[in-house]
Amino acid sequence: MFYRMCRDALQLQHPPPASVEVRSAYKKYSSSAIVLRGVSLTVRRNTIYGLLGPSGCGKTTLLNCIVGQTKLDNGIINLESNGIDDIGYMPQDLCLDPLLSIEEIFIYFGTIFGLSRNEIITRYKYFNNLFDLPPRNMLINNLSGGQQRRVSLAIALLHNPTLLILDEPTVGLDPILSEKIWLHLSDLSSEGKTIIITTHYIEEARRAHTVGMMRSGVILSEDAPENLMKCYGCSSLEDVFLKLCMIDTSKVIHKTSLPIDDEIQKKLLPLDSNKKFETRRFRAQMLKNRFLLWRNKQMTYLMLCLPVIITVFFNMAIGSDPKNINIGIINEEIDFRNCVNFTYKHNNNCFLDDKMYGSCQLIYQLNKRTYKIKNYNDIEDAKRSIKKNKIWALLRFNFNYTESLKNRVSTGRDSTDDVIDHSFLEFWVDDSDRYMSILIERDVTLSLSDALKNLVGSCNDSLDKVISYPIKIHDAIYGSNSGSFTQFVAPGTVCICMFFLPIIFTTFVMLDEQNDGILDRVLTSGMTYLEIALAHSVVQFTYICIQAIEILIIMYIFYGNPFIGSVTIGFSLLIVIGITGMIYGFVLALANDSHFAAGFAGIGSNFLLMCACGFIWPTQGARHFVKYTNKFVPITLAIEALRGITMRGWSFDHKAVYMGFISMFIWALIFYIISYALYKSKKGTWRKV
């Protein structure tokens, strides 16, 4: 009853027009986390409104709703002016980029609000004298907590707004500086400014024209401090707040549900009309990016050097045929040490007429291919060496290997079984590494072919034709007959680099903007996410072009991998791949709230791409449905296109090439749609506290 009498007495006054009105504001983040429970308050023009209450009572959420960063679930917020340039907002946290200096922060926000360089300098000097700011070249990250809050307050006042919303501006400041701030706020209100200020210091709020006391998401009472103390018979605002908390307000405080549907009022974001692209804001973001690139040299060097490091190490460590592989030999027809005497002799003689050993010729050919030969006398001992990984393969020559080979050639199909059996070269291999075993099998086969040619020597032509393989290998249509695995993997390596590097940079830069409320404050200052994204895209596009040039030079000029097609088409494809990766980086930044989660998502998705896109192994070798669906994986068709450009010389009119471009454009569009949907779903909920 006493509370209602005071409230009715207050309604008899004739206050000035309202600058901010909040009516029946409800906001919840979950069924158990209802933050605002029908809040209604009125902030009169040219006054200071002090919003009091303990931590967690909903003050910051209410301010976020007023400035348009959080959307009410129900209720109405009316502002006297909907222009975002008319509002100066100082959030509870610092929300300033820690890598910028004080001067750069002033230039950045001043450019956002359309101030000239001279105006920014003038305003900085004014606030420097007023708030005793640190030297302008000091980084935000190197300031004390109190110094940071002074800079934050100065930024909120920089563009001379008509409505000031200050969340805990005097926390951590010494009493003298707090007094100076309150005196300045009083002067601003007398000059026509409207100010909303939250504070933990209840008695400090006696300087405000109106005080609203908030608890558990409701406004317990609002009026001039003197009226409240008089109404409740208290000598301090702290006693008033304590008495209000003791009054039975359970019907309001314990309300846990929103109004029924027919009671729900129109929902609005009072400042949600600012969607136009503004050159000045875009220029401000470009200035900030320039400052950060200059300040964060480690990131700049990393983005420029990482493509070089990856490409160099790829060519040094991956793709080339292995050298100096150990294989074992059991030579029963001649002492292994005596093979050296027969290696270089009799190359022009016919082995049918002369004493020549086929085993020695094969050993010679294997040595030419850099294999390291280890001699064994016992077959079981040699097999144990394979099991212990001392050698990769074992060759065994029978005691009459060459003689049996002569008899087999001479007698043809009349050869006895013993002759045929003894003319075979026995071969064992460690097949646990399939690529190594295929390589050894290939080299043994080729070495045997060359050895047989040497054995034939000056024998008649018909014998040469009989003993040679029944296949004639012509020059390759594309590539070379001696091409290496490097040439197959190189296009995939290039595409993976061009796709993944922009993901890293974009994700981490955008999360830096989002974390610690930096993005919130920038958006509240009028910047749009489109302007931020476009400014970042300009920087990222520059990186992409430089990275593409670096990779092409190292991969195809320095290391000489084949590139017989159009460099322009190949370069253009890499740029499109990089842009697609950049857009995917926006998706990861919007879908995750931390660098840790985004990093895991980026690395995980990149690993899946590497397995499915034909980078490591031909897509035709995939199993089951993957063989038919991997063409729908990002960069799969782009890798095939680059492989066609570099190794086959295909131009844009070839289906494989233009499908590579089309697939990347489609994926870029898909990632853009996903990022836009994520942005719309997160807008207004960047901060949940």
List the beta strands (DSSP E) in 255-307. none
Q: Is the pLDDT confidence value at 405 over 80?
A: yes
Single out the residue in 200, 225, 256 at which a domain terminates: 256
Q: CB within 8 A of 313, min separation 6: which ones?
A: none
Query: Is 366 inside any structural domain?
Result: yes
Q: Do both 463 and 497 map to the same domain?
A: no
Lowest mean pLDDT among 232-246, 468-482, 667-681: 468-482
Query: Is 432 inside any structural domain?
Result: yes
Q: Is the pLDDT confidence value at 327 over 50?
A: yes
Q: Do both 495 and 424 map to the same domain?
A: no
Is the separation of the CB atoms in 377 and 351 below 8 Å? Answer: no
Which three-class secondary structure state does DSSP give residue 342? helix
Average pLDDT rounded to a whole number, residues 79-91: 85
Q: Do both 504 and 618 map to the same domain?
A: yes
Average pLDDT rounded to a whole number, residues 576-593: 93
Single out the residue in 229, 256, 283 at which a domain terminates: 256
Over the Cα atoms of the chain, what is R_g?
Answer: 39
Q: Do both 513 and 405 map to the same domain?
A: no
For 155-211, write each residue's pLDDT tens digit.
999 999 999 999 888 887 788 888 888 899 999 999 989 999 988 778 788 889 999
Stated length of the chain: 689
Q: Do both 462 and 426 map to the same domain?
A: yes
Single out the residue in 203, 225, 256 at which a domain terminates: 256
Instruction: Report the CATH number that the domain containing residue 384 is assigned in CATH.
Output: 3.40.1710
Query: Is 643 inside any structural domain?
Result: yes
Query: Is 302 inside any structural domain?
Result: no
What secondary structure, in 3-state letters, does 241-261 show? HHHHHHCCCHHHHCCCCCCCH
Q: Which domain holds residue 441?
A: 326-467
Query: Is 103 inside any structural domain?
Result: yes
Q: Do both 439 and 511 map to the same domain?
A: no
Q: Do both 461 and 584 map to the same domain?
A: no
Instruction: Please tell me the distance from the alpha carbon of residue 586 to that of residue 411, in angstroms, as a whole number.
Output: 75
Higher pLDDT, 480 or 443: 443
Query: Is 290 inside any structural domain?
Result: no
Query: Is 268 inside any structural domain?
Result: no
Q: Sorting pLDDT into bands at 50, 70 and 90, what band is 15?
A: low
As for how many domains the chain has, the answer is 3
Q: Do both 238 and 359 map to the same domain?
A: no
pLDDT for the residue numbered 237 = 87
Instruction: Report the CATH number that the domain containing residue 212 is assigned in CATH.
Output: 3.40.50.300
φ and ψ at residue 257, rounded to 5 degrees: -130, 155
Q: Is the pLDDT confidence value at 603 over 80?
A: yes
Q: Sorting pLDDT into bands at 50, 70 and 90, what band is 329?
A: very high
Mean pLDDT of the chain: 84
Average pLDDT rounded to a whole number, residues 261-278: 56
Q: Do both 494 and 437 map to the same domain?
A: no
Q: Do both 33 and 154 map to the same domain?
A: yes
Average pLDDT rounded to a whole number, residues 45-67: 88
Q: Do both 171 and 74 map to the same domain?
A: yes
Q: Which residues pair with 194 in a beta bridge?
A: 163
pLDDT for the residue numbered 685 = 46
Compute how many other C-beta atoms are within 10 angstroms of the C-beta atom of residue 286: 17
- Within 158-278, residue ranges assigned H as helices are 175-190, 225-232, 237-246, 250-253
Intra-chain end-to-end CA distance of the chain, in Å: 35
Which three-class secondary structure state does DSSP give residue 346? coil
Q: Do both 508 and 397 map to the same domain?
A: no
